[in-house]
Amino acid sequence: MYDQSDPRSRMASATSKATAPTSFAPADYGLFYETGPQIRDSGTKTWLTRGQNFLVGYSEVEAGGVLERKDQPDEYVLLLPDRDTPAVVEANGEHFEVEGYSLVILPPGESRITLPKGGRATRILSTRSEDLNALCSNAASYAEPHPNVALLEPWPDPVGGFRIRAYSLDVPSTPGRFGRIFRCTTLMVNYLDPQHGPRDITKLSPHHHDDFEQGSLALDGAFTHHLRWPWTTNLNAWREDEHALVKSPSLTVIPPPAIHTSRGMEPGLNQLVDIFSPPRIDFSNQGWVLNADEYPMPPASG
């Protein structure tokens, strides 16, 4: 259910699954501001939390600090949310100097990210990054696959092959377009338009997803995530509603098919980033993906 001012209100309603789910997973919360980092390297601290198909590594980096991946099995995304946090990105013989306030897609293989001035950086990866899965703060939650989540099937390779691709987040809002959406073969990242001040409580957007999780990464401000699970004929499967107030930085993993909506709470900037794996076909069909010309959709997905 969307307010008529929300571009998502014009999407065709998805057809629900013929078979209703009978069990439900809880939401997962990675409250990076409350817990210690899972990784401490020289000059870097990294907090890790996962979903079924994706994981997030939020890092605080000292000047000259380095974030590295070796034998990375697939593409991943780097977010540089601050304008004064440039990075030097190296992968497979390529060398890019990237300005702050950018989203970067890195190829499989070996890669190295250096922050000359330090700052914060977030990497978003698939859970095919096996070395990181066990380090996640909520690893125990995924000892068994969560119900109702379709597993990741990568999308077609990018036009021109795998390489470093950098995009500015300085994208003006356009009427009819929802957020600032980028995709690669394994992930879709929506760097939502900034929200200043609390969200209007008469224009919330409760909705659900049949078979994919939503990662909601709070980078600035605070959010209340409202969640409600369906009732089934089995009372044992019912779950209490949640109205979880989270600060930043944090990651909330919203399971299907919980009805959910999020409200920015702080008087200043509230910045949320939505994460999906695999990329969403419905958003892609709307023409909202800013780098769609570089990443083909699967056959017969239109």
> Each residue of 66-119: pLDDT tens digit?
999 999 999 999 999 999 999 999 999 999 999 999 999 999 999 999 999 999
* pLDDT-above-90 percentage for the chain: 92
The conformation of residue 7, written as its DSSP 8-state character, comes to G
How far apart are alpha carbons 50 and 28 in whole angstroms? 8
- 253: pLDDT strictly greater than 60: yes
3-class secondary-structure state, position 293? helix
The reported pLDDT for the residue numbered 34 is 98
> What integer best gives the mean pLDDT of the chain?
95
Tell me the pLDDT tens digit for each residue of 19-42.
Answer: 789 999 999 999 999 999 999 998
Alpha-carbon distances, residue 191 vs 9, 31, 57, 232, 272 (angstroms): 19, 19, 16, 34, 7
67 close to 90: Cβ distance less than 8 angstroms: no
Task: Determine the average pLDDT of the residues in 244-272.
Answer: 98
* pLDDT-above-70 percentage for the chain: 97
Tell me the pLDDT tens digit for each residue of 139-186.
Answer: 999 999 999 999 999 999 999 999 999 999 999 999 999 999 999 999
The conformation of residue 237, written as its DSSP 8-state character, comes to G
Task: Determine the average pLDDT of the residues in 43-67.
Answer: 98
The reported pLDDT for the residue numbered 13 is 58
The reported pLDDT for the residue numbered 16 is 52
Domains of the chain: 23-292 (2.60.120.10)
How far apart are alpha carbons 100 and 294 in whole angstroms? 22
The reported pLDDT for the residue numbered 242 is 98
- 243: pLDDT strictly greater than 90: yes
Long-range contacts (CB closer than 8 Å, 24 or more residues apart) made by 96-99: 96/164, 96/166, 98/166, 99/168
Task: Determine the average pLDDT of the residues in 130-145.
Answer: 97
Beta-carbon contacts of residue 145 (< 8 Å; ≥ 6 apart) = 52, 151
